[in-house]
Amino acid sequence: MPMYQVKPVSGGDMKVDLPTCMYKLPSFHSSHGSSGSPEHALQNGEVDPAVKALEARQDEIMRKLYELKAAVEGLAKTVTTPDADLDLTVSSSLSSSTTFKGTTDLDTLLGKDLGALRDIVINANPAQPPLTLLVLHSLLCQRYRVLSTVHVHSSVTSVPPQLLSCLGPRHADSYARHMFQLGFTLIWKDVPKLQMKFSVQNMCPIEGESNVARFLFKLLAPYPSDPAAATLVDSWLDTAFFQLAEGSAKERAAVLRALNSALGRNPWLSGPEFSLADVACYCCVLQTGSAASAPANVQRWIKSCDNLGHFGPAKRLLQ
C-alpha cells in the first residue's frame, strides 16, 4: 500500500556553489576505488600499511626511551651507592681521546652551509685582550681555512698596533671570502664583557671569555664524552677565568697550589692529554704575570706548553 507521498520541497538537482577560496580535500571514502594500485577495500581487521609504518616508528621510539630510562637508573644507582667515590683523574684515561685529532664536522656544529662564509664575530675590549681566544684561533687556522680580520669599532678612538696584528698577517686570498670555511672577525670595541655573535637568527650572543672558548674548542675537537672528564675540564676553565684572572692575590695563590698538586699526578691538567683546560690556565697564568713565581710542577708544565708551540700569539701580545 503506498504511503504518504510528500512532494519534495526543493528540486533534487540543486546546484551548490562551492566556494573556491577554501581548501579542497579528496573524498576519503572514494579513494580506494580511484587509486592506481590494485588495492581493494580494507577488510575488517586489516590495517592500512601507512598506519603500520607509523606504529613501527612509535615502537622504535618507545624502545629507545626504555633504554634511556635503564641507563639513567643505572647511573643513579652508581651515584647513590657508597663505593661510587671514584677518583676521576684516574678514570679519565679510560674516556675517549681528548686530543685535537677528534673528528668534527663544521656542518653539524654550525648548521647547514648556505653558500656563504660562516663568520664568527667577537667583540672584545682592547683593555682586556682575550689571550685564550687568540691561541684557539691559531689552532683553528691549522685545522680549517679561516679568514681572520681585525676591526676597530667607532666607540674606540685608537688601539695599540700589536692589537691590530694579533691575528697574524692578512691571508693572500682574503679578497675572495667564499673560498674560506670559517670566518673569524675580531672587533675591538668598548664593551663591558667579551661577546660573541654567530648566527643572529638562531643563537643569542655568547658572553664571557670562558664560554666563547668552550664554543671555539668544540670546533676543534668534541668535548670528552665521559661526563666526569668533561666536568673536570669545565671546572679548570672556570677556576682559570674567575679565580686566577680576576681573583685576589690569595685566590691566585690557592689556584697555583691546586695546579701544582694536579700537575704532580698527571702531565696535563685533565689527564694524559693536552686539553682546553691547559690552554685557559696557561693564558691566565701568563696574563697575571705569576709564571716566574709558580711552584715546581707548574713551572715544568709551563715549559711543556711552550714546547707545543701553540702559545706564540699570546706571548707576542704580552710583550
Partner 1 sequence: MTKEGVQGATEEEQQAQSKKALKKQQKEAEKAAKKAEKQAKLTAEQTTEEDDFAKDRYGLSAMVQSQQKLDRELVRVQDLTPEKADQLIWLRARVHTSRAKGKQCFLVLRQQQFNVQALVAVGDRASKQMVKFAANITKESIVDVEASVRKVEQKIESCSQQDVELHIERIFVISQAEPRLPLQLEDAVRPDGEGEEEGRATVNQDTKLDNRVIDLRTTTSQAIFRLQSGVCQLFRDTLTHKGFVEIQTPKIISAASEGGANVFTVSYFKTSAYLAQSPQLYKQMCICADFDKVFCVGPVFRAEDSNTHRHLTEFVGLDIEMAFNYHYHEVIDSITDTMVQIFKGLRDNFQTEIQTVNKQFPSEPFKFLEPTLRLEYTEGVAMLREAGVEMGDEDDLSTPNEKLLGRLVKEKYDTDFYVLDKYPLAVRPFYTMPDPNNAKYSNSYDMFMRGEEILSGAQRIHDAQLLTERATHHQIDLEKIKSYIDSFRFGAPPHGGGGIGLERVCMLYLGLHNVRQTSMFPRDPKRLTP
Q: Do β-strands 195-197 and 182-188 pair in parallel, antiparallel, or remain unpaired?
A: unpaired
Residues 56, 312: Cα–Cα separation, whole Å:
57
**Residue in 117, 253, 254, 291 binding partner 1, rule: CB under 8 A:** 117
Question: In the complex, what is the shortest distance from the CB of residue 96 to partner 1, in angstroms, rounded to a whole number?
Answer: 33
Q: Which stretch binds partner 1 (CB under 8 A): 50-58, 100-108, 111-119, 242-250?
A: 111-119
Within positions 134 to 173, which residues make up the interface with partner 1, using CB under 8 A?
Answer: 149, 151-155
Question: In the complex, what is the shortest distance from the CB of residue 149 to partner 1, in angstroms, rounded to a whole number?
Answer: 8
Q: Could you say which DSSP state residue 244 is in? A: I
Q: How many residues bind partner 1 (CB under 8 A)?
A: 24
Question: In the complex, what is the shortest distance from the CB of residue 154 to partner 1, in angstroms, rounded to a whole number?
Answer: 5
Residues 128, 283: Cα–Cα separation, whole Å:
12
Type of residue at 112 = K
**Residue in 89, 104, 181, 185 binding partner 1, rule: CB under 8 A:** 185
Tell me if 221 sits within 8 A of 104, measured CB to CB. yes
Contact status: 189 vs partner 1 (CB under 8 A):
yes
**Residue in 41, 47, 116, 249 binding partner 1, rule: CB under 8 A:** 116
41: left (phi over 0), alpha (psi -120 to 50) or beta: beta
Question: In the complex, what is the shortest distance from the CB of residue 119 to partner 1, in angstroms, rounded to a whole number?
Answer: 8
Which CB, 9 or 114, lies closer to partner 1? 114
Contact status: 178 vs partner 1 (CB under 8 A):
yes
Question: In the complex, what is the shortest distance from the CB of residue 187 to partner 1, in angstroms, rounded to a whole number?
Answer: 6
Contact status: 192 vs partner 1 (CB under 8 A):
no
Question: In the complex, what is the shortest distance from the CB of residue 114 to partner 1, in angstroms, rounded to a whole number?
Answer: 4
**Residue in 58, 199, 225, 293 binding partner 1, rule: CB under 8 A:** 199
| CB neighbour list of residue 32: distance below 8 Å, 6 or more residues apart | 39, 40, 41, 42
Within positions 270 to 299, which residues make up the interface with partner 1, using CB under 8 A?
Answer: none
End-to-end CA distance of the chain: 116
Which CB, 137 or 310, lies closer to partner 1? 137
Q: Tell me the backbone φ, ψ of residue 100, rounded to 5 degrees.
A: -85, 25
**Residue in 34, 43, 81, 201 binding partner 1, rule: CB under 8 A:** 201
Residues 210, 196: Cα–Cα separation, whole Å:
11
The x, y and z cell numbers of residue 205, run together, are 650572543
Q: Could you say which DSSP state residue 121 is in? A: E
Buried b (16+ CB within 10 A) or exposed e, 158-169: eeeeebeebbbe
User: Using CB under 8 A as the criterion, which residues of the chain lie in contact with partner 1 when the complex forms?
Assistant: 114-117, 119, 121, 123, 149, 151-155, 175, 177-178, 185, 187, 189, 197, 199-202
